[in-house]
């Protein structure tokens, strides 16, 4: 607790103290299951001495200074709060607490199951000679997990191996084997499905199960289901697990940690029992409250338990956002999610690995190959293909860099992933790296499920407008999603013959860059359907008309060589140029290339915007020096009929007068 007090006082550097390590806070001093009797001060001192002067130490100092400054700023804001302000926020907090209490649901029973030291237990099962010996899965650079014998010395997951060896000289290291861990994880999930087919997997070694219906059907208690499930897992795998039963998922997870290893804890579905349970519960036990949040709550508000959160709720509503304050109050009331979440499509899939910092390009490429193989296997297992590939690097100085590329086609194979990942890595070399990761996002099913902006105009608005004489600004709102995929859409052109167009997804393959719709087929049963093309001048001189109709997106289209034959020819819409305004969709995704950058990545966003601006200027310059081929010469090359050319020449004579795109589709 002395270290916590040092942070609260802002003495993060520890200068002038006889025990500077007491102000050096890391996750390694946090007690996990099996670490109850550990000498925390000894661990803290060893971590401090082994880390001092390293890049990690410098990074931790920067974070510590940032946290201390934030605590200091919040204290100043607290001191400025007048009694009238506190009275107001007290009313706000009390009203919201009453509303949250009214939402309490005690009708469901949730079970959280957590495997005991999973990776280490699997390795011990494979090699019984490790039984009873302090052992950790990982290497001298980083530990994935440690068995309970090693935890008695203060060794824990996410700790560098060289520090762990200092704490426990007899520690045995075993390399990771994720194929093995995945195999045993699948075995445990077979047992979970017996009790809840729709269980929620938290990771390879934990899951949430709604056992309400099983309890009702079998007329048993939650305690019996927990015992039966744990026995089933042991029988299936030879591994032990711990379980927690509670009215919601948040409390079930807390309960599963109480009697670890190989134990269980049941919290009754009773409000008084829940409030008694959380009253003395340390805030760090709650999922979602980590080291930083814990230090802020303790350093600013002197909040140590969940019960104290409710006592200081007026300050929380005064200094934090409403959503953050409500989360804290929900924790103080012991509220959590009770409903089974709806199945949502995966947005991304990733793999990353930590290793000793290295500049060796051969070793880095080897790590990249391993990541690409694992990522490809995971994607093919789930039947996923994505367009955006992101490379994540953590340098030796603990700086995190992400570089992404959005492709024209969807990929999932190791070869495709590796091909583009190598290019991203090559751009960063030479570099000293200690962590590398690959992520694929923007899957081929995303666009169909996304809700389009109803005000966003597209080229389909023009084609489907129906009346060739209609004003350009009055086209109906047609969502892009209506024309995505392989489905055929009936279109009425000029209030005449209804035709069918098979629209290719405009974001697939080469269509992203050149704007061609090569699968657009116009069918007619009685003869040839002819399409007229305006001259270059007639189209480009009225670019402002397109801008007005498209709202935030402007197009400068030049359709050339359009010739549609009966049920056999392709309708080619060749774009000479296309200019689009860059937007951040949902404040996350670039509207031009689909790359994903969170709002916090300010510098990366500016760099990305500069890239598109430079690209746009380069295209404009190239158009000045290399103008588009006149549509007349292109038409002769494609063998357009004499009548089509005469109509096109008539349209070319109407310079200075706007020609709506509907006039392209005029019948004989």
| Region of poorest pLDDT, from 10-14, 93-97, 445-449 | 10-14
Average pLDDT, rounded, for the chain? 74
CA neighbor of 656 nearest in space, from 494, 518, 537, 497: 537
Which residues on neighbouring strands pair with residue 498, listed in sequence order? 492
Section 26-30 average pLDDT: 56
What's the pLDDT score for residue 158? 83
DSSP 284: G
What's the pLDDT score for residue 585? 67
Section 24-39 average pLDDT: 67
- Residues in Cβ contact with 58 at an 8 Å cutoff, skipping those fewer than 6 apart: 397
Task: Please determine, for residue 469, whether its predicted confidence score (pLDDT) is greater than 70.
Answer: no
CA dist 439 and 176 (Å) reads 21
pLDDT in tens, 262-321: 999 999 999 999 999 999 999 999 988 988 899 999 999 999 999 999 999 999 999 999
Q: What are phi and psi of 85, to 5 degrees?
A: -65, -45
pLDDT band, very low/low/confident/very high, at 92 (cuts 50, 70, 90): very high
Q: Alpha helix (H) ranges present in 338-458? A: 361-382, 414-426, 446-449
What's the pLDDT score for residue 145? 92
CA dist 411 and 416 (Å) reads 6
Distance linking the first and last C-alpha atoms of the chain? 88
Higher pLDDT, residue 631 or 610: 610
**Taking the mean position of all CA atoms in its chain, how far away is CA 325?**
24
CA dist 551 and 591 (Å) reads 14
pLDDT in tens, 195-220: 999 999 988 999 999 999 999 999 99
| 611 token code pair | 């890239």
Whole-prediction pTM? 0.61
CA dist 381 and 367 (Å) reads 21
- Residues in Cβ contact with 489 at an 8 Å cutoff, skipping those fewer than 6 apart: 482, 483, 500, 501, 503
- Residues in Cβ contact with 224 at an 8 Å cutoff, skipping those fewer than 6 apart: none
Section 615-644 average pLDDT: 54
What's the pLDDT score for residue 182? 92
| Region of poorest pLDDT, from 23-27, 308-312, 426-430, 657-661 | 657-661
Contact 321, 422 (CB under 8 A): no
Return the percent helix, strand and coil in the chain, to nearest 5.
45, 15, 40
| 535 token code pair | 């001259």
Q: Distances from the Cα of 317 to the Cαs of 70, 250, 322, in angstroms? A: 17, 22, 6
DSSP 137: E
Q: How many CA atoms within 13 Å lie on the side-chain side of 544?
A: 3
What's the pLDDT score for residue 631? 45
Section 110-138 average pLDDT: 95
Section 484-507 average pLDDT: 33
Task: Please determine, for residue 584, whether its predicted confidence score (pLDDT) is greater than 50.
Answer: yes
| Region of poorest pLDDT, from 175-189, 495-509, 590-604 | 495-509
Contact 318, 93 (CB under 8 A): no
Which residues on neighbouring strands pair with residue 352, listed in sequence order? 437
pLDDT band, very low/low/confident/very high, at 481 (cuts 50, 70, 90): very low
CA neighbor of 120 nearest in space, from 90, 158, 150: 150
Higher pLDDT, residue 607 or 377: 377
Q: Distances from the Cα of 324 to the Cαs of 67, 307, 338, 375, 661, in angstroms? A: 18, 17, 20, 34, 51
- Residues in Cβ contact with 576 at an 8 Å cutoff, skipping those fewer than 6 apart: 556, 557, 558, 560, 623, 628
pLDDT in tens, 359-378: 999 999 999 999 999 999 99
What's the pLDDT score for residue 159? 86
CA dist 529 and 509 (Å) reads 28
Contact 119, 131 (CB under 8 A): no
206 is catalytic: yes
Section 125-129 average pLDDT: 95
Q: Please, what are the domains in the chain?
A: 2-80 (no CATH), 110-269 (3.30.70.270), 348-444 (3.30.1490.100), 459-577+628-664 (no CATH)
Higher pLDDT, residue 493 or 133: 133
User: Taking the CB of residue 431, how many other CB atoms lie within 10 A of it?
Assistant: 16
User: Taking the CB of residue 312, how many other CB atoms lie within 10 A of it?
Assistant: 18
Q: Note the maximum CA span of the chain.
A: 97
Q: Distances from the Cα of 571 to the Cαs of 13, 560, 667, in angstroms? A: 71, 10, 15
Task: Please determine, for residue 525, whether its predicted confidence score (pLDDT) is greater than 60.
Answer: no
pLDDT band, very low/low/confident/very high, at 666 (cuts 50, 70, 90): very low
3-class DSSP state of 413 = coil
Contact 218, 238 (CB under 8 A): no
| Region of poorest pLDDT, from 169-183, 370-384, 632-646 | 632-646
Task: Please determine, for residue 118, whether its predicted confidence score (pLDDT) is greater than 90.
Answer: yes
**Taking the mean position of all CA atoms in its chain, how far away is CA 233?**
31
pLDDT band, very low/low/confident/very high, at 29 (cuts 50, 70, 90): low
What's the pLDDT score for residue 592? 78
Section 103-120 average pLDDT: 95
Section 71-95 average pLDDT: 93
What's the pLDDT score for residue 315? 95
Task: Please determine, for residue 462, whether its predicted confidence score (pLDDT) is greater than 60.
Answer: no
| Region of poorest pLDDT, from 66-70, 501-505, 599-603 | 501-505
Task: Answer left, alpha or beta for residue 511, where phi above 0 means left and psi between -120 and 50 means alpha.
Answer: alpha
pLDDT band, very low/low/confident/very high, at 77 (cuts 50, 70, 90): very high
CA dist 129 and 602 (Å) reads 52
CA dist 60 and 24 (Å) reads 8
Set 206, 294, 557, 596: catalytic member = 206
Antiparallel, parallel or unpaired: β 172-174 and 135-138:
parallel
- Residues in Cβ contact with 269 at an 8 Å cutoff, skipping those fewer than 6 apart: 106, 107, 109, 247
The proportion of the chain whose per-residue pLDDT surpasses 70, expressed as a percent, equals 63
pLDDT band, very low/low/confident/very high, at 482 (cuts 50, 70, 90): very low
């Amino acid at each position: 607790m002395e270290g916590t007090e040092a942070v609260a006082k802002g003495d993060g550097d520890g200068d002038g103290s006889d025990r500077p390590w007491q102000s050096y806070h890391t996750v390694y001093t946090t007690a996990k299951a099996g670490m109850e009797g550990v000498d925390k001060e000894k661990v803290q001192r060893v971590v401090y001495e082994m880390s001092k002067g390293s890049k990690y130490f410098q990074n931790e100092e920067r974070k510590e200074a940032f946290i201390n400054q934030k605590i200091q700023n919040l204290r100043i804001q607290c001191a400025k709060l007048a009694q009238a302000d506190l009275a107001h926020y007290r009313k706000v907090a009390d009203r919201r607490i009453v509303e949250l209490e009214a939402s309490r649901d005690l009708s469901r029973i949730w079970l959280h199951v957590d495997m005991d030291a999973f990776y280490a237990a699997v390795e011990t099962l494979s090699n019984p000679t490790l039984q009873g010996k302090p052992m950790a899965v990982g290497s001298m650079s980083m530990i994935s997990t440690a068995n309970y014998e090693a935890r008695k010395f203060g060794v824990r997951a996410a700790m560098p191996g060289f520090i762990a060896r200092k704490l426990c000289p007899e520690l045995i290291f075993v390399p990771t084997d994720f194929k093995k861990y995945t195999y045993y994880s699948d075995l445990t999930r077979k047992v979970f499905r017996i009790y809840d087919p729709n269980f929620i997997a938290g990771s390879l070694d934990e899951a949430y199960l709604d056992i309400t219906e099983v309890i009702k059907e079998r007329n048993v208690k939650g305690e019996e289901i927990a015992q039966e499930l744990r026995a089933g897992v042991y029988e299936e795998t030879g591994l032990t697990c711990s379980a927690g039963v509670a009215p919601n998922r948040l409390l079930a997870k807390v309960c599963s940690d109480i009697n670890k290893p190989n134990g269980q804890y049941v919290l009754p579905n009773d409000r008084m029992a829940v409030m008694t349970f959380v009253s003395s519960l340390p805030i760090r036990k709650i999922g979602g409250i980590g080291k930083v949040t814990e230090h802020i709550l303790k350093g600013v508000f002197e909040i140590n338990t969940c019960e104290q959160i409710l006592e200081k709720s007026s300050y929380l509503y005064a200094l934090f956002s409403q959503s953050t304050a409500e989360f804290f109050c929900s924790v103080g009331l012991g509220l959590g999610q009770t409903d089974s979440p709806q199945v949502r499509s995966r947005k991304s899939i990733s793999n990353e690995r930590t290793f000793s910092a290295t500049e060796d390009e051969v070793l880095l490429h080897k790590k990249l190959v391993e990541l690409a193989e694992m990522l490809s296997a995971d994607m093919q297992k789930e039947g996923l293909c994505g367009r955006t590939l992101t490379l994540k690097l953590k340098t030796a100085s603990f700086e995190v860099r992400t570089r992404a590329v959005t492709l024209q086609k969807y990929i999932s194979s190791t070869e495709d992933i590796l091909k583009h990942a190598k290019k991203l890595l090559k751009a960063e070399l030479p570099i000293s790296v200690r962590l590398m990761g690959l992520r694929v996002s923007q899957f081929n099913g995303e666009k169909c499920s996304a809700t389009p902006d109803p005000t966003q105009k597209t080229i389909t608005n023009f084609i489907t407008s129906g009346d060739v004489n209609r004003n350009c600004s009055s086209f109906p709102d047609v969502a892009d999603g209506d024309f995505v995929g392989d489905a055929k859409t009936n279109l009425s052109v000029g209030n005449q013959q209804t035709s069918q167009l098979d629209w290719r997804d405009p974001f697939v393959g080469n269509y992203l860059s050149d704007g061609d719709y090569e699968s657009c087929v116009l069918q007619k049963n009685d003869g040839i359907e002819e399409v007229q093309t305006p001259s270059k001048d007639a189209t480009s001189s009225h670019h402002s008309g397109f801008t007005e109709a498209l709202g935030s997106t402007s197009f400068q289209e030049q359709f050339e060589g359009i010739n549609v034959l009966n049920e056999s020819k392709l309708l080619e819409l060749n774009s000479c140029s296309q200019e689009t305004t860059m937007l951040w969709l949902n404040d996350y995704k670039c509207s031009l290339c689909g790359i994903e950058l969170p709002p916090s990545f300010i510098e990366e966003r500016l760099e990305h915007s500069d890239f598109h601006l430079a690209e746009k200027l380069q295209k404009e310059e190239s158009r000045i020096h290399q103008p588009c081929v006149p549509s007349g010469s292109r038409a002769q090359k494609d063998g357009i009929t004499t009548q089509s050319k005469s109509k096109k020449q008539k349209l070319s004579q109407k310079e200075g007068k706007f020609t709506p795109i509907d006039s392209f589709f005029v019948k004989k």
